Structure 1
């Protein structure tokens, strides 16, 4: 991973957090597209099926405003492995 990876914000951390980036020893997926584009999602300890299923993540910047959810699923070629989740849309 390059140095820019370590400067990324992890989903669920506050922007005011003095260390919002990834932590050594954790596994992350990169979120691509949608309101959480560019953030990292900590998937440390997730079961393989959970990664295949993707994630519904709360986002204040989604299509439906505060407390909406954004759906992300593994990018093609990353099924069953840590890599990238792509945005599939928002739900209220």
Structure 2
């Protein structure tokens, strides 16, 4: 695992990199991002409907193939996931978009 991967693992997508507590928060629900540039991050999906969870996510990132573009993740509710507080499903990487 390189330094960037280690920095991301277990962190919540969207939390500031210098946040003293970038991990999951009590009472929140998360999807684990699997593969791609955001592998290992948790996405806060608290309050998402089943339809929204089924759609997946297009997440802005500087780390993908198109800096300033989006990393695309598909819902995978049955996907194996790392144990963690509030982690209920996984989103699999499917590519990048500008």
What is the CA distance between 1:10 and its match in structure 2?
0.1
Structure-2 separation of matches of 1:48 and 1:33: 22
Please give the alpha-carbon distance, in whole angstroms, between the structure 2 residues aligned to 1:74 and 1:24: 23
2:92 paired residue among 61, 86, 89: 86
> Match for residue 58 of structure 1?
60
Deviant stretches of 4+, over 4 Å? none
Which of 45, 48, 64 aligns to 2:47? It is 45
TM-score by length of 2: 0.78
Instruction: Provide the rounded CA distance (Å) in 2 between the counterparts of 1:88 and 1:21.
Output: 24
SS at match of 2:60: strand
Q: CA RMSD in A?
A: 1.4
For the pair 1:16 / 2:18, whether they are aligned, the reply is yes
Q: Which residue of 2 aligns with 1:34?
A: 36
Aligned-pair CA distance for 1:76:
6.2
Q: How many residues align?
A: 82
